[in-house]
Amino acid sequence: MPKGKDKNASFRGVQTKLRFLSQEDRKALLDLMRRFSSATRFAYQRLLEGYSRKELKREDGPLCQLFRLNTRYVDDAIFKAQGVLDSARERGVDPRAVVFGGRSLFEGLKRKHLSGERLLQLKREWREKRQGLLYSRGDRSKEGNLNLRLEVEDKDLWLRINLGHRTYIKAFVLSSHPQVKALVERALLGEPYNVELTLRNGEVHAHFTWQEVLPPIVATKERGVLALDANAHPHHLALALVSPDGELRHHFTIPLNEVDRAPNRGAKEILLWKAAHQVVDFALSRGVAIATERLKHFRKSRRGDGSGRRFRSIQHRFAYASLLQKIHALARRRGVEVLEVNPQDTSTIGMLKYAPLLSLSKDTAAAYVIGRKALGFTEKLPQGYERLLEDQAFQIETQAFYEELQTELQRRKGGENNPYLKRRIAREIGKAKRALALLSSLRSSPGSQRGSTEGRNLPGANPWRVLRVGLFLPLLGREVPRDLSPLKPILLGGSWEGGKVRLRSSSWWRAQGANGRFE
């Protein structure tokens, strides 16, 4: 494999399990994995002390002599150790504090508060993490991988493992991964591939990876972008085709309800890949790039935190990151440019500006904002909203609404005995406090002059977020409303003046709370 990273290349991989011809072969491999793991930790310490890779990989060096490994295994152990060291430095972690095997497992064993089956399980996991690693990089000059070589015999796939001193064992490779065929082709053609063996729950797993050169980009943002926004409820993709001048050309949705009903993980993966193919095929047919939000981590709620069973179920079914990863990977393999934008306030801007103005759903409007961001457009605050933010009556009434709401929720919390409902009300109190802080910042400063959401606009509050808390719940009755058409008169600038728009009162909120609605 090339030492440098090729920008026009991607990695593909296959996960498999190994089955051995005898217990003796399995024991021999586990001993080799134990020695390789120890060599990796030893190499890490020597790298910290300033030893060079050239010094450590010599045949008469400490790694080869102490751990009875050939120079290729030793070089791969140094490579793994160097990767851990580089990762620690990039993350700002003290390299001397790195724990091979995982700090969480280490801390769990150190506390000594467990016993019985749980303690045995923890010790087994720790031992497998510390002693269950073997890695070998591919080499084109050696026609694949010299130490861990794939062999095809009678349509069966075998892994030949070099134990050293010209001693080999074979293990049967088990996998139903869709990329196995591509892996077999590489083995037959003598193309390089990397192999990493790990030990999990007493079984040896093999992970094969290889690098592929990507085709040239044929669909770019010069002809526009296909922007998409993934949504959990209802589970679907909203897509917007945006022209180079920022205009909305076409929009549609791809339902993902079948993903939720998939009987197993394999079926779910197939459905997600089908959706990814639909997106990439459409982008290719129009010759446009694909724009998505930058991948981010979603916090998963837990039982007892007051979020509600239905909401937790929706969160845990939502395959957002998995779907976007598939779209990105497939697009790059087929020559489609992929653009990622900052997800900050895309939904808020879409709901406030484009959903009422163009009669779009909130999800399609968010996709449209993503597309405009990818093309370099910034979102200016409409004049109607600017006048609204400057209206003293609006500021006073919205602040009074949230103050009354906070008082009402605190009263309900004091009289609630159910701890789960109490936590839920506490979450709503926190939202009301944050809304008041936003509104207060608006009244105490001249506000943002740019009307943009890229980073913090100082001095002043974020106008889009102030509008969201000031209009959605007080005016439309929900934090995330579906019908945004009542905002159109305000957006166009003629409806707030003269008190034509009435905010909801605390009595309305009390009526909703009595019915169990805290949204």
CATH superfamily of 220-374: Ribonuclease H-like superfamily/Ribonuclease H (3.30.420.10)
pLDDT at 33: 97
Q: How far apart are CA 172 and CA 132, in angstroms?
A: 18
> Could you give the angle at the alpha carbon of 6 between the alpha carbons of 5 and 12, nearest 5°?
85
Q: Which residues contact 115 (CB under 8 A, 6 or more apart)?
A: none
Q: 315 or 390, which is more confident?
A: 390
pLDDT reading at 73 higher than 70: yes
pTM metric for this prediction: 0.66
- Domain borders along the chain are 9-213, 220-374, 383-514
pLDDT at 453: 44
Q: Which helix (H) or strand (E) holds 410?
A: helix 392-414
pLDDT at 126: 93
pLDDT reading at 318 higher than 80: no
Split at pLDDT 50, 70, 90, the class of 495 is: low
Q: How far apart are CA 456 and CA 462, in angstroms?
A: 8
Q: Which helix (H) or strand (E) holds 260?
A: helix 257-260
pLDDT reading at 215 higher than 80: yes
Q: Which of 88-102, 182-196, 396-410, 501-515 has the lowest average pLDDT?
A: 501-515
Per-residue pLDDT tens digits for 334-384: 899 999 999 888 999 999 999 999 999 999 999 999 999 999 999 999 988
pLDDT reading at 242 higher than 90: yes
Q: How far apart are CA 196 and CA 16, in angstroms?
A: 10
Overall size of the chain counted in residues = 519
Taking a C-beta distance cutoff of 8 angstroms, is the pair 335, 469 a contact?
Answer: no
pLDDT at 302: 52
pLDDT reading at 478 higher than 90: no
pLDDT reading at 130 higher than 60: yes
Q: How high is the mean pLDDT of the chain? A: 83
Q: Which of 6-15, 88-97, 152-161, 297-306 has the lowest average pLDDT?
A: 297-306
pLDDT at 367: 94
Q: How far apart are CA 261 and CA 60, in angstroms?
A: 59
Per-residue pLDDT tens digits for 432-451: 998 888 888 776 544 444 44
